[in-house]
Structures are given as structure tokens and as C-alpha cells.
């Protein structure tokens, strides 16, 4: 291998920075059930194509999917290096989320190619390659990530056509809806304040009229 430093790339031992030879299968690290577990309902409904801004982070289980995931997290936390693994898992999940739709859920390089353990350690986990590989294997044992055959990515799926654009609400429409909602709530608050302000005045008028009638009954001569 020319004395070059060796690393594991997609499960195949190659020279540092090199690619597997022709006929060999490239593999990539992938977060298991990424869309089902971590994408928000609106992102799934409108098929968000840009990198995610937010992703789910479960606090308690509300269905079978979240219950299964939280059991895996509990098993992760009980490991001897549980704190290290939790921090690594958080960074891996963030890196997998910061991708466009076609590449989301995969650990890739800046050129959208499968990242080696050395690249994952350098750019995501900020540690040496051996330590990164050990963390990745542990997460794979727990079923949080998987080492799968790299798919053929189709970047055209990230393009928004006219047909797709109709399904996605425009930013202008969203701003208009949010503004109208604020105006409506503000008008309700204003109306409520006016009602509260008028109510004491009406009550005071009734009390004054009642006192005047009582005085007239007690002093009928005052009418003359």
C-alpha cells in the first residue's frame, strides 16, 4: 500500500483518503429509521428538501416507535462510557440532520461521499479514528446506526418542481397567516379590555340610580 496510513472506509481496508477498488462495495454509516424517528411532522408532510432546522428529541414515549428508541437510549446510558456515547450520539444525529432530503440520515463528507471513521472522528466527533470507530461500533450494536451499502443518490430529488411546489406552503402565505393570527388575537384582547373597562361604569350607574330612588322614597316632600 506504499507505506501509507490505513483506515477503514466502508468496511474495506484502503489507503488513507483512497476509494475501494472496482468491484468492491462501498458502505456508509446511516442512522436507523431516521425519518420516522427524528423528522418533524411538518417536514414529513411537506417533504422538506433543505437541511433540517429542528429534529425530534424524545422526553417520554407516546407510541411503539418512541418506546423502542428510548429503550435503546437507556441501554446506551448504562454503558461504562455512557456520557461519552450520549454526546457522540447527539453529534451524529445533528450531522445526519444537517443534510438535504436525498442525503439526510447518512454520515457523509462535504462532497456527499461516505465518510470514513477517520473523517467522522475529525469532522463530527472530534477524536482520533480508532476512538471514533469504537463509538460507531457500539452505537451499531445498540441498533441506533447501521453500516449499509451506499445507495446511488439522486440529487434531482432535492429540486422543487412546479408540481412539488404546490404541495409546499409558500413563505409569503405563512407570514400572512401568522400576521392575521396576531391581528385577530390583538383585536380580541382589545375588545376584552373595552368590555372590562365599561362594566364598572354600568355598575356604578346602577348603584347611583338605586341610591337616588331610596332617597326619594324616604323624603317624599323633596319632590315638591
Q: What is the pLDDT along the chain (224 residues), one digit of tens a residue?
A: 344 443 444 443 333 344 444 445 689 999 999 999 999 998 888 888 899 999 999 999 999 999 999 999 999 999 999 999 999 999 999 999 999 999 999 999 999 999 999 999 999 999 999 999 999 999 999 999 999 999 999 888 787 655 555 554 544 444 444 444 555 555 555 545 544 445 555 555 666 666 666 666 666 665 54
Query: Is 150 a domain residue?
Result: yes
* Helix, strand, or coil (residue 3): coil
Residues 25, 10 contacting (CB under 8 angstroms): yes
Determine the Cα angle at 69 with ends 127 and 87, to 5°: 20
Query: Is 47 a domain residue?
Result: yes
Query: Is 58 a domain residue?
Result: yes
Query: Is 137 a domain residue?
Result: yes
Q: Could you tell me the residue range of the domain that residue 118 belongs to?
A: 27-154
* Helix, strand, or coil (residue 22): coil
Query: Is 65 a domain residue?
Result: yes
* Number of domains composing the chain: 1
Amino acid at each position: 500500500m506504499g507505506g501509507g496510513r490505513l483506515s477503514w472506509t466502508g468496511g474495506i481496508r484502503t489507503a488513507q483518503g483512497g476509494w475501494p477498488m472496482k468491484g468492491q462495495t462501498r458502505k456508509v454509516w446511516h442512522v436507523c429509521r431516521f425519518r420516522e424517528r427524528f423528522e418533524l411532522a411538518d417536514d414529513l408532510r411537506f417533504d422538506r428538501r433543505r437541511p433540517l432546522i429542528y429534529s425530534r428529541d424524545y422526553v417520554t414515549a407516546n407510541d411503539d416507535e418512541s418506546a423502542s428508541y428510548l429503550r435503546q437510549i437507556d441501554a446506551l446510558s448504562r454503558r461504562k462510557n455512557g456520557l461519552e456515547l450520549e454526546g457522540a450520539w447527539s453529534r451524529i444525529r445533528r450531522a445526519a440532520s444537517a443534510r438535504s432530503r436525498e442525503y439526510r440520515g447518512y454520515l457523509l463528507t462535504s462532497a456527499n461521499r461516505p465518510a470514513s471513521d477517520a473523517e467522522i472522528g475529525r469532522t463530527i466527533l472530534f477524536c482520533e479514528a480508532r476512538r471514533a470507530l469504537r463509538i460507531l461500533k457500539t452505537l451499531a450494536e445498540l441498533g441506533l446506526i447501521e453500516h449499509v451499502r451506499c445507495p446511488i443518490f439522486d440529487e434531482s430529488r432535492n429540486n422543487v418542481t412546479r408540481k412539488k411546489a404546490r404541495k409546499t406552503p409558500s413563505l409569503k402565505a405563512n407570514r400572512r397567516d401568522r400576521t392575521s393570527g396576531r391581528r385577530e388575537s390583538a383585536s380580541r384582547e382589545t375588545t376584552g379590555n373595552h368590555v372590562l373597562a365599561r362594566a364598572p361604569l354600568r355598575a356604578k350607574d346602577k348603584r347611583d340610580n338605586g341610591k337616588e330612588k331610596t332617597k326619594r322614597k324616604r323624603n317624599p316632600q323633596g319632590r315638591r
